[in-house]
Structure 1
């Protein structure tokens, strides 16, 4: 069984972060980094873009941090039992080396589920965490082993991917087509065409889904008022938030919260 230790989802640092662990940790550490970062490895400093993943092995020196003033990541400490080490080794995941993926959204979703399950009291919590960790690691291995995405060869890919990571990371900002286009220095019409071509979804749809994802998370894990959650997720109008939430989930925010609480009590 894979035991999950400390973990966090969408951990935001508003000030510069630098993490040093000269002796490493006694377990594996998986980081899904959503902002620019640096890594100090074998005396060399590597700078990485948003969407970087690294798997540290036990007892390996750890030194990484933010490049800019803010930092955001998902992080999971885990330890397989001896009998499960062959599973991890067979995945042939590159360890102690940062890897940049074209999209980490699915991996981040698994991390979110792991954090929620870790904080639950289900009778089969450990078994569920084991299954989720295996799913996450299988998904990571699949992405690393797949052929490079043709989209990554587009000259605007790096800027567009950074824009998307910023949208998913800060959906509460006042995102407009014009503001997005200005960030990547292309026209609004070309932005919309290129965004869908590269990511298979419109930029506005990404904003909406990222806001609703955050809203669902806060509804499940806090007692904040609906109005406060709406504001926190970037909605200027509570009624607009409630209508949009119901359109995409078939439930009002209050119904969603009640439904989740009932499921937790079963």
Structure 2
């Protein structure tokens, strides 16, 4: 469809989409997608447009206003906006962009996680991949190709995952990431044994201090908390699928005694192991 907005240049087009009921329940889905060329003087300000917006800047510069904060965006950057809230953007020099308004059950969680860590103006770690993914969705509509909602959702997921991991990719070397993965594998394999921080740090070939910092950044929890969570997951499985005593489950899950296990279990789950075993959880 051709836009009739003021200061939108020719060869700009957009496409709207109504997702299926199933897509609204399960997937990320596009609401509107387009490729626009904006000329100097373009302004847009609105209280809400129920969706989230990703706008990848191809050429030129624009400004974005969220609340009282205004940012300048340039080619190669991606603007990520919560359009349920008031927002505005425009340009004094002109710009080109690929953009998509989308939503989905997990959209807000992704948005809040990404923006809380990196802000609304992003430098994608893989800008060419972001560009290709957005263009793929846009071209699907432009060419009137069959709409596969699961595939489009997968493409949007890939974009969001790239935005979410971009900072990690830049800050943590590949060798370090491999070391963290090997430490996690070690925990998953030997959680029932005594595992020390030094042991895990040695596996990752890092100092204990740096290992703890990187591990927390990669997983969202400390090595100790990850180990306890893994032990708890095994204990919960055995409580529901075996007739073992609580004491035996505690030992098989890596706890030194029943008392310590019961205390830790109630702290994490809000009930005793016996209560959990008889519950519908």
When normalised by structure 1's length, the TM-score is 0.47
Structure with bigger gyration radius: 2
When normalised by structure 2's length, the TM-score is 0.44
The answer to which structure, 1 or 2, has the higher relative contact order (CA under 8 A, 6+ apart) is 1
